[in-house]
Structure 1
Amino acid sequence: MQAQVDIRSWLHKQNDWLQEAVDRLLKKGQLDGADIAALVALIKTPDGRKASKHRAFAELSQGNAEHRELRLVKISEISGIESLAPRMPLEFGSENLSVIYGHNGSGKSSYTRILKKLSGKPRASELKTNVFKAAPATSKCHITSQLNGQETVHEWHVGHPTIEALRDIDIFDSDEASHYLTAESAATYIPPIVSLFEKLAGVVEQVRDALTAEQSRLVTSLPQLPAIYDGTPSKRLYLSIGTAVAAVLDEALVWKADEEKQLLALTERLKAEDPAALAVHKRRTKAELQKIIAALTDADRAYAGSCFQSLRDLRQAAAQKRQAAVESAKVNMAELDGVGIPTWRAMWEAARAFSSTPYPQHPFPVTHAQARCPLCQQTLDEQAQRRLEDFEKNVQGKLEADARKAEGLYTQALEALPRIPGDEEIATQCEAAGLGAQEWPGFLKGFWKSAALTREALLNNEAAAPVLPVAPQATNITALAEYSEELAQTASQYDADAVQFDRAHATKEKLALEARKWITQQAAAVRAEVERLKKIKEYEDWKALTNSRPISTKAAEVTLAVVTDAYVARFNQELKALGAHRIQVELVKARTRNAVVLHQIRLKGSQDAKSQPNGILSEGERRIISLAAFIADVCERPGSAPFIFDDPISSLDHDFEWAVACRLIALAKTRQVIILTHRLSLYGVLDELAKKVGDDWKKQHYRAMRIESYGGAAGHPADQEVWNASTKKANNLLLNRLAVAKKAGESDGAEAYQRLAQTICSEFRKLLERTIEEDLLNKVVLRHRRGIQTDGRLRDIQGILLEDCKLLDDFMTKYSCYEHSQSSEMPVVIPEEPELRQDLEALGIWRDQLIKRRAAVA
């Protein structure tokens, strides 16, 4: 089939995810949630969004050989649905053609509405309860059906889901007639090759809905920008996060130190009531800061490793020179070691100072004959005198002087080391210098503690271990210097503010900075929002691939070839079969929606394109056209399912009625056809046409029924034998029913008798009509038969007597009130049993006499 080749070629040009959807539809028929989830996952992949050709789609070439024969068997146990309360089931039997006759209000349309609702028809009316009775506990019914000969009983409650097994039932009523004339509609039966596109459009919509559902869960966590920042540049950035350049956004999400300083400065300036005083304060703060910077700079220079070598050099030089002096002090007369060492020199200098007391007029050492040693206070012999003089000569010599000088330089260098402030002093300095933040006092205390250890090690001449230098402070000194410069600038700014200050402009600047700072504080949320917007964009791109327009376009193309042309041809054939081909109408393709091709009946050749058949044609023409459209729409569905027609000939003349009846008979040859009508003429025509098909066919497939209303309840199947039996048999049946009514009256009272007798009277009135047609006029003319039959019948009519006419006329007058409405001023009185029996028996006797009289003449 060319259409299959064309569809396969079209599919191979589609994205892989769409091909996967078609492949699953061809294999499974319907997709479930797992299938939709798999398609959603596939559409998100790069390969899923590319065309592929690895699928053969072999199922496109496989036909549907399944044959289904569905039949309705009966409707029973109806309760709580409209006014229906039948005493017995409405049975459709095994016949193909069931004709159900009933007066207005007998329940025909109620049965139709039930069948439409439970079979899921799109224009089914809501079912109501009998408004004249108390609401029932439940509204339900039982419906028995056969599928391929297998009988099933379905219990259905109003409001419950459709009975899927009965979806194939086709129903025509006034609502369907109006729909075909006024609305665009899709063909009821769509071949699988075409319905594939409708299913595919549905799957695509499910995929789009699933993507939309996932997308809807991408909820923003971005805080609302405070209204106070509405006029700032940051507001514009905040609103355009999704389109902002990445570099710009990265820059905007970083709050710089200089911005914080600027914000703090603006805040202070705006708070200031006396800018001049604040300028003085800032300069005072700067002065205190300079002290810290100077001390830190000195300590950094003194306690850094670069200065240690000079100290070590001084220490070494002093030690070496002292050693030289000590060595030179080891004179020959020295009896003890250690002469010249520091302790000895200290003792010697102490002796010099003491000597001035006993010998104030003599230079040290005093060595005359009466002199004594200042230390041991013994008299000095010649050797002791020379020893003291040698000691003094050594002390006053050059080596000793050099040693003292070197030691003085080293001591001076140690004393020049910066002093170490205490913690309280550090805290006070920080407070005065505006370094009250915890990190600066903590850092400075830590630094000076490290410097104290270094200083102590240096003072101890690195006796325990080599001294460790403090960490370099260039960075911190630079930071403090920058702060000092800021203080200077701030002071200058306050000086300027004291002269003139644009507070409004400063406020605007401050607000802009605060807005920027607020946005940087939301950096995590902003970046999350950027990712969310990226994800939403991805979902929009994916959803764009679920546009069903290409599917609808292809569906329209295929449907035009496979469905529309055939549908239009069937419609034209039905118009011809129903005798309506002269009516200027045509069935055309209106448009395509979600891969479904919609058709519409329009006037053919109309000069006014807006004119619709519903507003131009007569009621009968509208009815016959809608019936043609309905039959054309549903008759090609595979298998066999019941057709139900509710008053199909409403508003039709006799010619159209005859054509419709012929078409219904033709349909009944292949499937079950159920007709509900209040027109006895249709009943008669169908009876006649069924007989023309053949007596055997009529016996096997024609079923005439009647329903009636009684006591405020409708849908009662009437006695079939009285309705269908010969007039003589019907006469006897009514006599038998009268006997039953009499017994009911005797046991339950007059009301029980009257209830049954009223129905007998109504049936008797109808029997009189049939008696005139079939007995008196010998079936020459029947009201419900199209033709007049004279062959062998007219001869017997000559035997009609005036007495015959009077008898029947009297009975018709007497019993018409039981079948037709009467004035409320003329109450209907049910005849007593003897009177009614007498009339029934009189009619029977008359019929027998008429037959005998005609037989005698023949």
Structure 2
Amino acid sequence: MTNEDLILWLNQQNVWVIDAVKTFYSKGEFSNDDINRFAEECLNEAYGTKKTIELGNINLLHKNDRECFAIESIENIEGVNALASGKKLSFEPDGITVIYGENGVGKSGYIRIIKQLADAKYKEELKQNVYKNSRKNNQSCDVCVRVDGIESELKCDLNIAGEHSVFRDIDIFDTQISNAYICNENEASYEPWIFAMFREIAHAATMVKNELERQIHELDSFELHVPPEYADTSFGKMIQSIVAETVIDNRLFAWCECDEETLSQKEKEANIDATNNRIGSLSNEIYQLKSIQSYFLKFEKYYSEENIKNIQAAKAEWQKCAQEQLAAQIVFRDEASELEKDSISNSAWKALWRDAYQYYETLLKSKGIVRYTEEKGVCPLCGQELINPNVVQRMKRLDEYLNGKVSQRVNKSKTEYFDLLKQFPDVWSYEQLSVMLDACDVGVEKDNILCLSEQLIIHSNRISKDEVDSIDLSGINISLVIDEIGNLIQTKLEAKKRAEEHLQDDAIKCLVNEINELKAKKYASGLLERIQKRVDYLNNVEVYGRAIKYTATNKLTSKIRMLGDELITDDYIRRFNEELLHLTNGNIKAKLIQGKAVKGRVQYKIVLEGLVDTKSNPSDILSEGERRVVSLAAFFAEASGRTVSCPLIFDDPISSLDQKYETLVIKRLVEAAENRQVIVFTHRLSMVVGIEDECPPTIKIRGVDLLSNPSIKGVPSESANISGKITKKLNNLKNETLSRARKMDEFSDEYKSTVHYICQQIRIFVEKSIEDTLLNGIVIRYRKSIQTLNKMSWLSQINPNDCSFVEHMMTKYSYYDHAMADETPLQEFTLDEIERDIDSIVTWLDEIKKRQGSK
């Protein structure tokens, strides 16, 4: 598709789309005012007023608004993890930067900052230092960038993702994006400007739609309410069926004096209001009487002949048992001591012996102790054995009197009697029932009903107070009153039926319908203006509906898919195939296919070739290392499609890779550094050494080590793992860092941290001097090859003094990094001592160089 074809197609779209294209071409974004204008254009077009907007000869297919840039440094980090504040992490803008650090030194913190700056798809939350009780501060940093050759410093609020648009073109590879390439469909992170425009217009379409819907909700809908009694009238049906196309005839809604007179005359003829009022009154009276009848029905079972006989029988049994208990009491009195006679009426004394009985039954009996009413039994109160026969006999009398069968029968029969009595239902107050009867228009029956209610109230009060001796439940005829109430209900039901039949008379029904029609017309006459406004509202809603349809993105999505095939997909797939071949030597057969386009976004996914089960996901088949290298191929395919230079950021790209794949990936990273800034974070020294070995002289390389201590992470240091002049690095350490420490308060945490850092650096530089200088670069840790050409002969010149010097310095400056026994004395190095050691190391290195040059 040519640019002219695209312009022609766009000029055929809705007005707001054409306006959006011109706006985005000139500004690169949409403001709220733009969205409101687009909504107004949709609405005007829906009303039939379409203004003309011409795109002219703008070049949409080849516009490029991106800038070449590189990150030079990140510094002054505040409030992110435990990353050191006031430190500066510098990068090589024209080559490759390798940032090495062990686990937990702060690499992830820097990666998260960069992802936040770029507003990366898989950015992660930036946390405060979780090991300190610090209050929530703003998270920020300063970033020095070089944009089209011009350096500038950007103040970055890390609470705002993608605050500066320049960072949004950064390509970042980490585990999350690696997994996304394999497991999900993804849109290309880089795309020509035209795709960004379509995507933003698709997003704006949603905002325009929301604005139109908001305006609809703000419109007064002028809802029309038709009373239920008019719903079936011609006017009621007409009002309920009003739509946008409804034409209102004002004459139908005219209400005049003659209509009012006609309505009044017909109402008199039908007498409808009085009849309806009568029906309403009777309905209410019937309801009240049924409630009263239900109330008395609750007592019918209680006062039934069978229940009264049961209550009387229970009372008789209780009285009989009480007589037997009285007789037993008299016998007990005749044989009891004077004290026992006085105690018979004492409740505490009775409770004491009843508890003694329970104590024996529940505990002593289970332990095999003889009952206290038998010879050689044990008293449950004092625990003494009962030997005296008279005492045993006394115990028997007490037990029989208090805990014997007679006493048990008395308690049981009393309980049964009281339980039957207390089944008495809840009663209404006299006043409540009297008011309800008055409302029911009851005649002489009222006295009978209230008289019965008084008797029920008396019985209820006596039962609640346990005044059982004065209760006589006989002579209460509940059924008689219930029947009287039933007769009243039936009488009122018949009266109601007659009134309703009056309204159902054909002549009356006809008259009622005429009256309802007139009343409905009268009601509608007051709604004429509102009805017209309702019609206008419905018309507006239809117009808004058409306007909202103009915001549909299906045409944009179809066009972006077609353009994607031409401008992205074919080239993207070709680059992926080349990258995969380059990184795997053809050992993994995978391909990139285009998925669905949604809202102007083209999706791609990776599938494996040659599978019988085509639904299998690559993540279920490939090993972890294979998934990593395939996702790297997809990442490089995307990144290499850019026409401008911007940073490539990698977080442990060789994680899970074997040596073969690791070598291929390192080679690809170095190739990328020929045209783009490459920044690699890694915890593997083999990668640091591998990149250094692979880099040709034309590619600049910078090494950075991240150091940490228990309280501070991510302290940048010039790498000792990248070859370079150790002497120069030691002099920089003395002249810059050591000099800065001399200006600090030696009791401050900053001073201690700086001394710790200097000692770490000295140890690292001594280690590196062993590899580079003493061993003449023959063996480098983590380098796969051993380089011996013209180097081996020097080894014979290493003397015991060299070995002693190295051992001394390594032991001395490993103090801060190695665990020490508790009895190890605390070592504190003075700055003068450290400076002397640095000078001695430099002197030793110079002397080694002289010896190597003279051999």
TM range (shorter): 0.5 to 0.7
Aligned to 2:790: 792
Amino acid paired to 1:563: I
Cα-to-partner distance string for 1:742-771 (whole Å, 9 max, x where unaligned): 9799x8469998655544553354345434
Aligned to 2:152: 152
SS in 1 for 2:584: coil
Q: Which has the larger radius of gyration?
A: 1
| 1:792 positional shift | 1.5
Aligned to 2:355: none
Q: Are 2:689 and 2:722, in contact at CA under 8 Å, matched by a contact in 1?
A: no
Q: Are 1:12 and 1:53, in contact at CA under 8 Å, matched by a contact in 2?
A: no
Aligned to 2:652: 647
Distance 2:174 2:20 in 1: 38
| 1:129 positional shift | 1.9
SS in 2 for 1:104: coil
Is 1:630 the counterpart of 2:602? The answer is no
SS in 2 for 1:153: strand
Task: List aligned pairs for 1:40-189, cutoff 5 A.
Answer: 40-44=39-43, 55=54, 57-60=56-59, 63-64=62-63, 68-92=67-91, 94-131=93-130, 132-135=132-135, 137-160=137-160, 162-189=163-190
Distance 1:230 1:120 in 2: 60
Aligned to 1:408: none
Say which is worse superposed, 726-735 or 58-67, in terms of deviation.
726-735
Unaligned runs of 5+ in 2: 279-497
Task: List aligned pairs for 1:399-410, cutoff 5 A.
Answer: none
Distance 1:842 1:56 in 2: 74
Q: Are 2:250 and 2:528, in contact at CA under 8 Å, matched by a contact in 1?
A: no
Is 1:619 the counterpart of 2:624? The answer is yes
SS in 2 for 1:713: coil
Is 1:268 the counterpart of 2:271? The answer is yes
Aligned to 1:502: 503
| 1:552 positional shift | 0.7
Amino acid paired to 2:71: L
Distance 2:740 2:690 in 1: 34
Cα-to-partner distance string for 1:345-397 (whole Å, 9 max, x where unaligned): xxxxxxxxxxxxxxxxxxxxxxxxxxxxxxxxxxxxxxxxxxxxxxxxxxxxx
Distance 1:31 1:734 in 2: 51
Distance 2:678 2:269 in 1: 93
SS in 1 for 2:604: strand
SS in 1 for 2:570: helix
Is 1:590 the counterpart of 2:595? The answer is yes
Distance 2:823 2:182 in 1: 45
Superposed CA RMSD in Å reads: 4.6
Q: Are 1:741 and 1:753, in contact at CA under 8 Å, matched by a contact in 2?
A: no
Distance 2:586 2:268 in 1: 95
Cα-to-partner distance string for 1:85-122 (whole Å, 9 max, x where unaligned): 24432223554322222222322222222222233333
SS in 2 for 1:564: helix
Cα-to-partner distance string for 1:575-633 (whole Å, 9 max, x where unaligned): 23333643232221111111221222233333334432333322222222222222222
Amino acid paired to 1:190: E
Distance 2:847 2:21 in 1: 78
Q: Are 1:270 and 1:503, in contact at CA under 8 Å, matched by a contact in 2?
A: no
Is 1:714 the counterpart of 2:746? The answer is no
Q: Are 2:68 and 2:148, in contact at CA under 8 Å, matched by a contact in 1?
A: yes
Distance 1:247 1:760 in 2: 92
Quick one: structure 1 residues 578 and 49, their matched pair in 2 at CA, closer, same or farther if it must change by over 3 Å?
farther
Quick one: structure 1 residues 221 and 504, their matched pair in 2 at CA, closer, same or farther if it must change by over 3 Å?
farther
Q: Are 1:21 and 1:200, in contact at CA under 8 Å, matched by a contact in 2?
A: yes
Q: Are 2:89 and 2:716, in contact at CA under 8 Å, matched by a contact in 1?
A: yes
Aligned to 2:526: 521
| 1:196 positional shift | 4.0
Amino acid paired to 1:552: T
Quick one: structure 1 residues 10 and 826, their matched pair in 2 at CA, closer, same or farther if it must change by over 3 Å?
farther
Quick one: structure 1 residues 752 and 672, their matched pair in 2 at CA, closer, same or farther if it must change by over 3 Å?
closer
Aligned to 1:546: 551
SS in 2 for 1:628: helix
Distance 1:173 1:116 in 2: 10
Quick one: structure 1 residues 141 and 498, their matched pair in 2 at CA, closer, same or farther if it must change by over 3 Å?
closer
Distance 2:200 2:636 in 1: 25
| 1:643 positional shift | 2.1
Amino acid paired to 1:218: L
SS in 1 for 2:169: coil
| 1:23 positional shift | 4.9
Quick one: structure 1 residues 769 and 615, their matched pair in 2 at CA, closer, same or farther if it must change by over 3 Å?
farther
Q: Are 2:707 and 2:717, in contact at CA under 8 Å, matched by a contact in 1?
A: yes
Distance 2:568 2:741 in 1: 64
Cα-to-partner distance string for 1:106-142 (whole Å, 9 max, x where unaligned): 2222222222223333332232222314125543222
Say which is worse superposed, 209-218 or 52-61, in terms of deviation.
52-61
Q: Are 1:15 and 1:50, in contact at CA under 8 Å, matched by a contact in 2?
A: no
Q: Are 1:112 and 1:646, in contact at CA under 8 Å, matched by a contact in 2?
A: yes
Distance 2:559 2:208 in 1: 19
Q: Are 2:583 and 2:665, in contact at CA under 8 Å, matched by a contact in 1?
A: yes
Taking structure 1 as the reference length, the TM-score comes to 0.62
Amino acid paired to 1:124: K
Amino acid paired to 1:147: V
Distance 1:198 1:702 in 2: 38
Aligned to 2:760: 762
Aligned to 1:671: 676
| 1:175 positional shift | 2.8
Distance 1:245 1:67 in 2: 56
Aligned to 1:571: 576
Q: Are 1:818 and 1:828, in contact at CA under 8 Å, matched by a contact in 2?
A: no
| 1:520 positional shift | 4.1
SS in 1 for 2:631: helix
| Percentage of pairs with the same residue | 28
SS in 2 for 1:658: helix
Amino acid paired to 1:790: T
Distance 2:178 2:102 in 1: 21
Quick one: structure 1 residues 736 and 531, their matched pair in 2 at CA, closer, same or farther if it must change by over 3 Å?
closer
Q: Are 1:232 and 1:512, in contact at CA under 8 Å, matched by a contact in 2?
A: yes
Task: List aligned pairs for 1:211-222, cutoff 5 A.
Answer: 211-222=212-223
Amino acid paired to 1:789: Q
Q: Are 1:758 and 1:830, in contact at CA under 8 Å, matched by a contact in 2?
A: no
Q: Are 1:722 and 1:730, in contact at CA under 8 Å, matched by a contact in 2?
A: no
Is 1:602 the counterpart of 2:600? The answer is no
Q: Are 1:584 and 1:604, in contact at CA under 8 Å, matched by a contact in 2?
A: yes
Cα-to-partner distance string for 1:629-680 (whole Å, 9 max, x where unaligned): 2222233223222222222222222332222222222222223222222222
Aligned to 2:689: 684
| 1:267 positional shift | 6.8
Distance 1:67 1:138 in 2: 30
Say which is worse superposed, 80-89 or 29-38, in terms of deviation.
29-38
| 1:562 positional shift | 1.1
Q: Are 2:553 and 2:599, in contact at CA under 8 Å, matched by a contact in 1?
A: yes
Distance 1:177 1:521 in 2: 70
| 1:84 positional shift | 1.9
Is 1:702 the counterpart of 2:692? The answer is no
Task: List aligned pairs for 1:206-355, cutoff 5 A.
Answer: 206-226=207-227, 237-242=238-243, 246=247, 251=252, 260-261=263-264, 264-265=267-268, 268-271=271-274
| 1:829 positional shift | 5.0
Quick one: structure 1 residues 841 and 98, their matched pair in 2 at CA, closer, same or farther if it must change by over 3 Å?
closer
The number of residue pairs the alignment matches comes to: 627
SS in 2 for 1:602: strand
Amino acid paired to 1:129: Q
